[in-house]
């Protein structure tokens, strides 16, 4: 609530400033992309339910397709009870927008919201994911469903193909186990391609239901369902 009040006061004073000096300051209030981090029960095969955390109620999170050189704003809402952060993997962007807390990007508190603004580059296939440390909790951080594809369409030679398919692989239900040499390592119960175990959905077909935020000219977006 305190954050809301502070944000309101800040917006109000900035709006006044905007009215006096720079009316274009508020040209964009709606983000290009909105990601909501929240707990999710994910059915990876009939009656096989994974309790995890994901973006917009999906695994992987929505596909982001963006033309090289075009600025983007991404609002992230944290609906979990721990601080979170989203890292834009492989992008050459300022460290305060990059989503790595150890490099200076802020954590998003439980119930909080944060806006990232940057111009994605270089072109090509990238991805985004949480940068929180799991520590001893193998249900957190990298072990969750917090990941998604980020495609940056090149200005030159965008490619002569009909459709691009985005597949993500993930292992679930991690636990620590011992190796024969007395070492400890993470083991997993299940693996999926996108959101389904092998044998429980065609990998290419399951990508078709993906949510997509796209400003690209090429048909990289998954076909809508139905
Ligand atoms: Cu990364």
Distance of CA 16 from the midpoint of ligand 1 (Å): 39
Ion ligand 1, residues whose Cβ is below 5 A away: 89
Domain ranges within the chain, ordered by starting residue: 1-30, 33-214
- pLDDT tens column, 163-221: 778 889 999 999 998 877 878 888 999 999 989 999 998 777 656 667 889 888 765 54
Do 37 and 78 touch, CB atoms closer than 8 A?
yes
Distance of CA 128 from the midpoint of ligand 1 (Å): 7
Distance of CA 88 from the midpoint of ligand 1 (Å): 7
C-alpha distances in Å from residue 50, one per residue of 38, 39, 43, 167: 14, 10, 6, 19
C-alpha 56 chain-centroid distance: 9
Distance of CA 103 from the midpoint of ligand 1 (Å): 13
Cα angle value 186/210/151 (rounded, 5°): 80
Rounded mean pLDDT of the chain? 84
Distance of CA 197 from the midpoint of ligand 1 (Å): 24
pTM: 0.82
- pLDDT tens column, 117-157: 999 999 999 999 999 999 889 999 999 999 999 999 988 87
Distance of CA 179 from the midpoint of ligand 1 (Å): 27
Q: Any idea which fold 33-214 has?
A: Immunoglobulin-like (2.60.40)
Query: Measuring CA to CA, which residue among 146, 97, 155, 99 is closest to residue 124?
Result: 155
Distance of CA 138 from the midpoint of ligand 1 (Å): 18
């Amino acid at each position: 609530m305190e954050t809301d009040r502070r944000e309101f006061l800040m917006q109000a004073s900035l709006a006044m400033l905007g009215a006096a000096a720079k009316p274009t300051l508020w040209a964009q209030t709606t983000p290009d992309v909105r990601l909501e981090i929240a707990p999710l029960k994910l059915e990876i095969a009939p009656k096989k339910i994974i309790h995890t955390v994901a973006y917009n109620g999906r695994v992987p999170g929505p596909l982001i397709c963006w033309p090289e050189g075009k600025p983007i704003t991404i609002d992230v809402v944290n609906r979990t009870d721990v601080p979170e952060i989203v890292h834009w993997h492989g992008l050459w962007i300022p460290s305060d927008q990059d989503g790595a807390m150890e490099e200076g990007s802020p954590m998003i508190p439980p119930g909080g919201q944060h806006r990232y603004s940057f111009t994605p580059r270089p072109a090509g296939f990238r991805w985004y994911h949480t940068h929180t440390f799991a520590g001893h909790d193998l249900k957190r951080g990298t072990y969750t469903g917090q990941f998604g594809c980020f495609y940056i369409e090149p200005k030159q030679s965008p490619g002569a193909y009909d459709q691009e398919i985005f597949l993500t692989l993930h292992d679930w239900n991690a636990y620590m186990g011992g190796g024969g040499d007395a070492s400890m390592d993470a083991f997993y119960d299940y693996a999926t391609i996108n959101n389904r175990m092998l044998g429980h959905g065609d990998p290419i077909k399951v990508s078709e239901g993906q949510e997509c935020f796209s400003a690209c000219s090429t048909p990289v977006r998954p076909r809508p369902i139905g």
